[in-house]
Amino acid sequence: MSRSPVSGWSIMNLQELIERKFTGPSPTCEERNVAATEEWGLLKTTAVTWSGWNEDAHKVPPRQFWGNSSIEVRQGDVLITKAGPRNRVGVVVYVSATRPRLMVSGKMVGLRPLRSKVVPSLLAGLLSTRDAQDYLNSRTTGMAESQTNFADEALLQTRLNVPPLREQQRMAEILDTLDDQIRATERIVAKLKLTKQGILADLLVNGVSTSRIGRSEGILDNFVTWLSGGTPFKGSPQFWSGSVPWVTPKDMKSLVLQRTTDSLTEAGVAAGSRIAPLSAVFIVVRGMILAHTFPVSLTKTASAFNQDVKAVVPGPLLDPRYLAYWFVAQSDSFLRLVGESTHGTKKLDLPDLKVFPISVPSRDEQRRIVSIVDAHERSIDLETAILSKLRLQKQGLISDLLSGRMRVPMESAS
């Protein structure tokens, strides 16, 4: 990192700016042969993204670890990923709030900022600057793009261009204004999502204010067709990077998928997967995500899918979007059916899914319900877009401030 310091700033090693670093996890109770006194949540690298916390980060399930205060994540800490795929190493997040007894995985490092030298939230910004990221990337080792890491010692030697503490505090005051707008918008999004959950429960589970005319009762298997997918041999390039989207649980983060991480060629589909029609609703039936979340997705085109996903094709009595919303509304009930394979992987058994009871209103009633839920979905999308824009504005402002392109007048933070 050869860039000269901004006038009045100092070049400092990360080591000089922290009280301590910590990582985890501590040994499990089974490894220590002791009884657990507390359950700890384990934050994995998937909890953080380049744009901040993953929405599911708060759903970290507790595990039986022998924990202690030296490894506990606290408010004001900074976390950074140090191992994993190359494009996931070096992700930095600031811990603005946390819960008791939370630790990081061994693929992450926790940093406790030295507040007499650095404002904690700005330390996260400093580590996210291009100079810091270029340095860490140059110290990353590994035999393959899919498994790389950097040593803790290399991290501590990261050289940062650090403003004086008073200037940092002025920067933080400016950023706090944007943070207030972000938090307010987050509350709006959370409220809209809660309202949507209530509507889903009323209209699709409890049948409140829905017509009984033309309604059909039965088990799910009477109204749908089930399709199973698969994975072609990954060592055959002719099967991959084609024009057919290939749905896997890692893609299913929204109701309507815009794109998939991987795609297949027609040969790949024939060799190990299958294509579901556009009307299909995709649900996850195997994977550790079922410990806390039941992913449901629709696609914009006919798609292939892997063996951890079922494609549920609605029959003539069911509208595809209504079926997708029905799965979402019933997600808690489906999670209660989740069991474990012999290897400990979470799974849903097809026989249990087939006999799940369903009450199907008329197609007209389904369309009415879908239009109501869609309206709330659009409101959520609008506020989420505003939230994304505010976060991008903050990232840009942090970049300008911490590069010295924008200097803060010390007499005023306006």
Same domain, 191 and 285: no
pLDDT tens per residue across span 204-225: 988 776 667 778 999 999 999 9
**354 Cβ contact list (under 8 Å, min separation 6):** 219, 220, 221, 226
pTM of the model: 0.74
To the nearest whole percent, how much of the chain has pLDDT over 90? 67
Mean pLDDT along residues 115-137: 93
Beta bridge partners of 300: none
**Bond preceding residue 25 cis, omega within 30 of 0:** yes
Q: Are residues 280 and 404 in the same domain?
A: no
Evaluated on CA atoms 45, 50, 53, 59, the torsion sign reads: negative
Instruction: Give yes or no for residue 121 having a pLDDT over 50.
Output: yes
Residue 229 pLDDT: 96
Q: Tell me: the pLDDT tens digits for 369-384?
A: 999 999 999 999 999 9
Is 250 in the same domain as 192? no
Are residues 308 and 373 both part of a single domain?
A: no
Q: Give per-residue pLDDT as tens, 165-214.
A: 999 999 999 999 998 999 999 999 999 999 999 999 999 988 776 667 77
Beta strands in 265-375 (DSSP E): 275-276, 281-284, 296-299, 303-305, 309-314, 339-340, 346-347, 357-360
Number of folded domains in the chain? 3
Measured distance CA(244)–CA(229) in Å, rounded: 13
* 134-144: average pLDDT: 84
Q: Given 125, 144, 162, which residue is the final one in a domain? A: 162
Same domain? For 42 and 149 the reply is yes
CA Rg value for the chain: 25
Containing structural domain, residue 155: 10-162
Q: Are both 14 and 154 inside the same structural domain?
A: yes
Same domain (yes/no): 56, 44 = yes
Contact yes or no for 276/298 (Cβ under 8 A): no
